[in-house]
Amino acid sequence: MTLFDDLGEDVPLRGAPGRVVSLVPALTEAVEVSAPGLIAGATDYCTHPDGLEVPRVGGSKYPKVDDVLALRPDLVLANSEENRPEDVERLRANGTPVWVMEAPATVPHALASLRRVLTQALEVSEPDWLVTAEELWRDTAPQRVRAVVPVWRRPWIVLGCETFGGDVLHRLGVANVYSGHEDRYPRPKIDELRARFTDGEADLLVLPDEPYLFTGIDGPESFPDVPYVLISGRYLTWYGPSLVDAHRELTRAFNER
């Protein structure tokens, strides 16, 4: 049968996949939790669910394509933002079906895409966690604070427009001051970031622990006297089962700041 992924590309499958290689940590967790045993290979950064013991195929940006092919997967899962088109094309050229999930701009977008991957491509029943996540994230809380959200330093990179993490914060009442920027991940200079606070445009610095590991002594020191909160980067940027815990844990983090 032939399905179409989020980018409209053909995904020719010979029935329900029995061996799946995931090149996206969030998708690895979503599939393994929903259908244990389907994941036959994953990246070095696929850290969840805990105890996942499968062959590793390198990183998301630079997977070892030969290692992926050697696992003889029925389907490879990729993401339009995390994985390179040339790797996807090489896999397809070798006869391996690849489902590319579009980088989601909102929580509902991510959950809808995950439903298609799970129920259509993998032919598994709709998992309970997905229904629960939809209910938890359906509503948007009133704005409580305006934030700058770095995801990297050296150089500084922040959440910009149309990002999944930005929508997560928005639904919790945390406005991203760079949400109107033309780039998804702007690279402002540190003086510009500090000015956002001195000019009154922002009143909170949100520091996740991935992809850059911000800590109490690595990040806040660049913003003297600015209130900040340290949060889990997985809860901010992973779409999947973690969204259930993310709603509770992020809400608590912002309430306790």
Q: pLDDT tens across 3-49, in order?
A: 999 999 999 998 999 999 999 999 999 999 999 999 999 999 999 99
Report whether pLDDT(256) > 90: no
pTM of the model: 0.93
**223, two tokens:** 């913003």
For β-strands 20-22 and 75-79, DSSP reports them as parallel
| Confidence at residue 2, expressed as pLDDT on a 0 to 100 scale | 80
- Count CA atoms within 13 Å of residue 39 on its CB side: 30
Q: Which helix (H) or strand (E) holds 133?
A: helix 128-136
Q: Produce one character per residue of 42-69: b if its CB has 16 or more CB atoms within 10 Å, e if not.
A: bbebbebbeeeebebbeebeebebeebb
Beta bridge partners of 79: 101
Residue 257's pLDDT band, with cuts at 50, 70 and 90, is confident
Task: Give the position of tokens 């690849």.
Answer: 98
Eight-state DSSP code of residue 71: T
pLDDT at 205: 98
Q: Report the chain's mean pLDDT, rounded to a whole number.
A: 96
Average the pLDDT over 64-88 and give the result: 97
Do the domains 2-126 and 139-255 sit in the same CATH topology, yes or no?
A: yes
CATH of 2-126 among 3.40.50.300, 3.20.19.10, 3.90.1170.50, 3.40.50.1980: 3.40.50.1980
All structural domains of the chain with their residue ranges:
2-126, 139-255
pLDDT tens track for 129-182? 999 999 999 999 999 999 999 999 999 999 999 999 999 999 999 999 999 999
pLDDT of residue 156: 98
Residues 257, 204: contact at Cβ < 8 Å?
Answer: yes
d(CA 88, CA 11): 12
User: Which superfamily, per CATH, for 139-255?
Assistant: Nitrogenase molybdenum iron protein domain (3.40.50.1980)
